[in-house]
Homo-oligomer: A and B are copies of this chain.
Amino acid sequence: MEKMGNASYWKTRRTIRKYDNSRSVSDELLCDLMEKAMQAPTTGNMQLYSVVVTRDNEKLADLATEHFNQPASTGADVLLTFCADFNRFTKWCDARNAKHGFGNLQSLMSAVLDTTIVAQQFTTLAEMAGLGVCYLGTTTYNAPGIATKLGLPKMVVPVVTLAVGYPAEDGEVSDRLPLDGVMHYETYKDYSAEDIDRIYAPKEAREDSKRFVAENGKETLAQVFTDVRYPERNNVAFSEVLSGFLKSAGF
Contact = CB atoms under 8 A, between A and B. Distances in A.
A16 B41 CA distance: 11
A221 B53 CA distance: 30
A45 B172 CA distance: 13
Contacts of A100: 222, 225-226, 232
Contacts of A15: 41
A114 to B, nearest CB: 9
A6 B84 CA distance: 29
A186 B27 CA distance: 13
A96 B222 contact: yes
Contact of A116 (B102, B117, B153): B117
Interface string A118-151: 0111011100111000010100110000000011
Contacts of A150: 184, 187-188
Given A44-B229, A222-B93, A101 B235 contact: yes
A249 interface: no
Interface footprint category on A: 35 or more
A61 interface: no
A169 interface: no
A30 to B, nearest CB: 8
Interface string A194-211: 001101100000000000
Nearest to A233: B101
Contacts of A10: 36-37, 39, 125
Contact of A93 (B101, B110, B225): B225
Interface in A12-45: 12-13, 15, 31, 34-41, 43-45
A43 to B, nearest CB: 5
Contacts of A129: 4
B113 A176 contact: no
B176 A38 contact: yes
Given A104-B239, A150-B187, A183-B50, A112 B112 contact: yes
A201 to B, nearest CB: 11
Nearest to A88: B191
Given A1-B167, A51-B182, 11 more contacts: A34-B182, A35-B179, A40-B120, A44-B225, A44-B230, A52-B185, A53-B184, A87-B191, A93-B226, A102-B232, A105-B242
6 contacts: A2-B8, A4-B6, A88-B181, A88-B196, A97-B220, A100-B226
